[in-house]
Amino acid sequence: MELVREITVKEALEKGYWFIDTRTKEEFEEFHIPGAYNVPLFTAEERKKVSQVYYEKGEKEARLYALELVGPKLHKIVREIKEIKEKEGKVVVYCWRGGMRSLAVAAICTLAGVNVPRLIGGYRAFRQYILNRMEERLREKKLVVLYGPTGSGKTRILRILKEKGYPVIDLEGLAGHRGSVFGGIGLKQPSQKMFDALLWQELEKLKDSPCILVEGESRKIGKLFIPEPFWEAMERGEKLYVEIPLEERIRISMKDYGVREFPPEVYLEALSRIKKILGDEKYRKIKALIEEERYPEAVAELMVNYYDKLYARSTPNEVKPFKAKSFEEAVSVVENYLASACG
C-alpha cells in the first residue's frame, strides 16, 4: 500500500480539489495555481541552505538537514492543512514539479491521519495542462476583437459589457498594464506564468459561451506575452474598429491613465523612452507641456504624433469600422454587434 496517493492535474480540476502550494512564500507570490493556499515547507532562506548542503555534501545530508529545519514546525503545517481540508473538503498538495517538498508534506499529513494526495508533476504539469487546454478551448470559440485609437475607451467598453453579462476577457486587466509606453504607471504586472494561469481561468469561466470579446492588443502587453493559442485565436477572430472624436479620447485618457495623480517626473520618464520616435522637436514640445502640467495639450500631441500613427500601422486591414459620436454610442455599437455575433 502506498503511503501517499497521487492524482493528475486533470483529475484534481475535474473533481473540484482545492490546491495547497508547499513552495516558499516568495515562489508562491511569483506564480501559483489560481485560488491555491500557501503552506510552505521551507522559508526562502531555509530552502537556500538545503540546496547548499545538497551541492556540498550530497542528497542524504541535505535530507537530514531539511528534517532538522522542518521538524519543529511539522505540527503547525499539518494543523493548517487539516483546517483547510475541513473548510474546503478535497485538497491536494503540490510543489514545483512534484518533488520532495510535496511528497514530504503529503506523507507527514497522511501519517498524522490527514489524508491528502499530492499532484503528479506539480506546478509544471499544471502549466502544461492549462496551455494545452487553452488551445483546445479556443478551437471552438469565436473571438470578437475590439480595436480603436488610444483613448477610445476600449477597456471601459469591455468592463461595462462584462457587467451586463456579456462574455468578456480583459487582457490588460489580467496583465496589469494598459498596453502602451505610459501603460504601466501606477500598476504592477504579474509574472508570465501567473498571467497565463489567470487567462486560462477566465477562459474556463466562459467555456459554454460560443464567442468572447477581447481588446485588440499587440502580442506583448508591457513585459508579458499573450500565449500562442490565444494570440492565434485573436488573429483569426472577427475584428471591430470603433472610433470616437479626439476630444472624447483626450477626456477618457486623462481619467484612465490617472493623469495628475503622479508628479510630472513619472510621465517624463515614460516619455523619454519614445524620444527617438518622436524626434527632438516634438519631444521637446510635449516635454514642456508636461513640465507645465498642461496635460490635455500633451495628451493631444501624443495622440496625433505618436499613438495614432503607431496604431494605424498595427491595426489589421480586415477590420469592420464604426464611427461613434460619443463614448456612450460606441458602447451601444459594440453591444449590438456582440449580441448579433454571439446570438
Q: Which residues of the chain form beta strands (DSSP E)?
A: 6-7, 18-21, 37-38, 91-94, 118-119, 142-147, 211-215, 220-221, 224-225, 238-243, 320-323
Respond yes or no: is residue 95 known to be catalytic: yes
Residue among 46, 30, 48 nearest 38 (CA): 30
CA atoms within 13 A on the CB side of 327: 19
Q: How far is CA 15 from the centre of its chain?
A: 25
The sign one gets for the Cα dihedral 111, 63, 1, 123 is: positive
Residue 12 C-beta-side C-alpha neighbours within 13 Å: 27
Q: Please state, as a whole number, how many other Cβ atoms lie within 10 Å of the Cβ of residue 75.
A: 11
Tell me the pairing of strands 224-225 and 220-221: antiparallel
How many alpha carbons fall within 13 Å on the CB side of residue 222?
21
Instruction: Dump the DSSP string for 267-308.
Output: HHHHHHTTHHHH-HHHHHHHHHHHHTT-HHHHHHHHIIIIIH
Catalytic hit among 95, 109, 211, 342: 95
Integer CA distances (angstroms), 121 to 44, 100, 266, in order: 21, 11, 43
By annotation, the residues acting in catalysis are: 95
